Amino acid sequence: MASTRLCLSYTAAVVAKGGLPSLPGGLYPGYLDSQPGSLRGTISVGIDATDLFDRYEEEYEDVSGSGFPQIEINKMHISQSIEAPLTASDTAILSGSLSTQNGNGGGSINFALRRVTSAKGWGELEFGAGDLQGPLFGLKLFRNLTPRCFVTTNCALQFSSRGIRPGLTTVLARNLDKNTVGYLQWRWGIQSAMNTSIVRDTKTSHFTVALQLGIPHSFALISYQHKFQDDDQTRVKGSLKAGFFGTVVEYGAERKISRHSVLGAAVSVGVPQGVSLKVKLNRASQTYFFPIHLTDQLLPSAVFYATVGPLVLYFALHRLKELEELEKQRESTATNILQKKQEAEAAVQLMQESVRRIIEAEESRMGLIIVNAWYGKFVNDKSKKSEKVKVIDVTVPLQCLVKDSKLILTEASKAGLPGFYDPCVGEEKNLKVLYQFRGVLHQVMALDSETLRIPKQSHRIDTDG
């Protein structure tokens, strides 16, 4: 599809999809979307899956392999464009496209030169040719009338075997307030029509209402999009479009799945169009679009599967991605734990002689002897018996900290103590100590960041019980 024809039908096409962007300062949408040196592309693959819901069994009784639904790719479109700045005010644009549908296809190539004439306007000349259509000549002009109002005019001459087909499109737009833009469009020649639309775009929502009178299509449209304020930039949208061609209800959602990728899906239900599922992936400046036609009729089963299927698939893939990231985190954590464990074991080896002397001194005066000490995650709940216990023996490091028959640990994580390490990163940990003081056994369990002072009378084990 030639880029001039895209420009000529810009407003109607975008309104039909659910809205026009709100632009500050009254700039024409196509101008701001053109970034110098940018490469843009679109790949669209149309899939005919009507055999899943509209099978005629009597026609396939004698056909081999008729037990499986026939899913076909019935159309495909590929387009690419690149823009390169020539000077501070001149930009060259080269674009091309290939299309095929039901075995018939064609292509086109276009070249455009845009010049910024002043701070208030610019102009663009375009030349194109294709095997289905003849040569194409286009002229586009943009002008800011006031700081809040602009006008753009597109003229085109399409040469074909039927003669010259002229086209003219004029768009007048005005910023009604900070977040609202009104558009008036008049299109003559190729699909003549008059269109008016109001677009309100805020931080949390996008609302569009439009009315078009034209040949062959006249319609009214209303659409709403809610923007969630989360890291994934989730958006939920719905629209209603009614006209001489019928009525279409469309709803869907899109979400950011990676730094440069946005995945979206929408269900279209209409008369006489039927039910379709549209899947779109935006990856950087590339767009991949997969319209899947499910049925020509309004079948509840088709609507159900078109709605639930993508949700189930998305959450399954999302969960799989979470598990992969968790596994990578565990591998990284395991490597770090192993390193910390080796450092702790080396520290414990160096403590052995000091601990021996401390124990001898404490035994001589019946002082504080650490019998056993464990640090980590303890599982006491019977419902969690299958969960792995992650504790380490810290008897030697704790005995090394005993001074004058006292042990005092401050209000901080014990993982930083000499001879300690964190055996379960990110999980709740405790310190359990069994010690002997004055020949009597004592026991205490403290939270990881809790202050601990021993010995204490409250820690004493009641041997009578």
Give residue-wise pLDDT tens across range 90-126: 999 999 999 998 888 889 999 999 999 998 999 999 9
Amino acid at 76: M
β-sheet bridge partners, residue 128: 110, 136
CB contact at 8 A, 369 and 362: yes
My answer on whether omega of the bond before 69 falls inside 30° of 0, hence cis, is no
Find the range with the poorest average confidence among 152-166, 170-184, 277-291, 317-331: 317-331
With b meaning 16 or more CB within 10 Å and e meaning fewer, what string describes 124-148? bebebebeebbebebebbbbbeeee
Where is mean pLDDT largest: 103-112, 193-202, 416-425?
Answer: 193-202
Give residue-wise pLDDT tens across range 120-132: 999 999 999 987 7
Give residue-wise pLDDT tens across range 230-274: 888 899 999 999 998 899 999 999 998 888 899 999 999 999 889
Give me 330's structure tokens.
Answer: 């565990």
Q: How many CB atoms lie within 10 A of CB 461?
A: 11
Give me 368's structure tokens.
Answer: 């504080």
Mean pLDDT over each residue of the chain, to the nearest integer: 85
Q: Annotate 120-159 with DSSP letters as a single string.
A: TEEEEEEEEEESSS--EEEEEEEEEEETTEEEEEEEEEEE
Domains of the chain, CATH where assigned: 3-54+68-298 (2.40.160.10), 324-459 (no CATH)
With b meaning 16 or more CB within 10 Å and e meaning fewer, what string describes 227-263? beeeeeeebebbbebbbeeeebebbbbbbbbeeeebb
What's the pTM value of the predicted model, to 2 decimals?
A: 0.65
CB contact at 8 A, 395 and 370: yes
Give residue-wise pLDDT tens across range 311-369: 998 888 888 888 888 888 878 878 888 888 899 999 999 999 999 999 999 999 999 99
Residue 18, C-beta contacts closer than 8 angstroms, at least 6 positions apart: 208, 221, 223, 225, 237, 239, 250
